[in-house]
Amino acid sequence: MMWNFAATVSHYKATVMGEIIPNERVNKISCRGRRRSAHNSRVIRIDMTPMVDLGFLLVTFFIFTTEISKPAVTNLYMPHDDDSTATPGSRSLTTLLGANNKVFYYFGTTQRAISDKLIFETSYDELSGLGKIIRQKQNELEKIVAGKELVVLIKSGTHASYKNVVDALDEMLINNVKHYALSDPDPQESVYLDRY
């Protein structure tokens, strides 16, 4: 029995990415105006199918490897207008957000802080700013009063920016402050913020 190898090979067609096809029918004019001979003229045909495949592979790769960041949502619970919560001065920290990224703080009541000049200025710095004040007060409360947690009032003045409020709320989350609230400054606090 004899195998017909030539018949099998004739049905196979090779697939190539690019090929050069001679073009004898078209005479092209070169850039200098001379006619080029027909046997030198060739048409280059490039198969773009592998490039399309590669493009889709790259797009798929970047979609799967790129981390899409979702905006974080912070829950803020505000008290009702009718309810008032009495907080001891030893557990309260009031922050006043002023203009030009200034932040002031005091402990206890507003009248005592203003009359005794116990309002201090700090910054939004991560290590030495508002976060440090909160951590120090939390440590004091853990030593003195067991089971009592810090209550922070965030009061933004009329010239404070939205970024200042967000930075103050971030400090609450970073330092695990569970009791905090946003409120408007008292008239005395507004005068203090306008002055400084």
Q: What is the pLDDT of residues 1-39, one digit of tens each?
A: 445 544 444 444 555 555 666 655 444 444 455 555 555
What is the CATH number that goes with domain 92-195?
Answer: 3.30.420.270
For residue 189, which of 89, 122, 94 has the smallest C-alpha distance?
A: 94
CB neighbourhood size of 134 (10 A): 22
Over residues 65-73, the mean pLDDT reads: 66
Where do the domains of the chain lie? 16-65, 92-195
CA dist., res. 58 & res. 16, Å (int): 22
Q: Please tell me what DSSP assigns to residue 6.
A: H
How far, rounded to the nearest angstrom, does the alpha carbon of residue 34 sit from its chain's CA centroid? Answer: 63
Radius of gyration over every alpha carbon of the chain, rounded to an integer in angstroms: 38
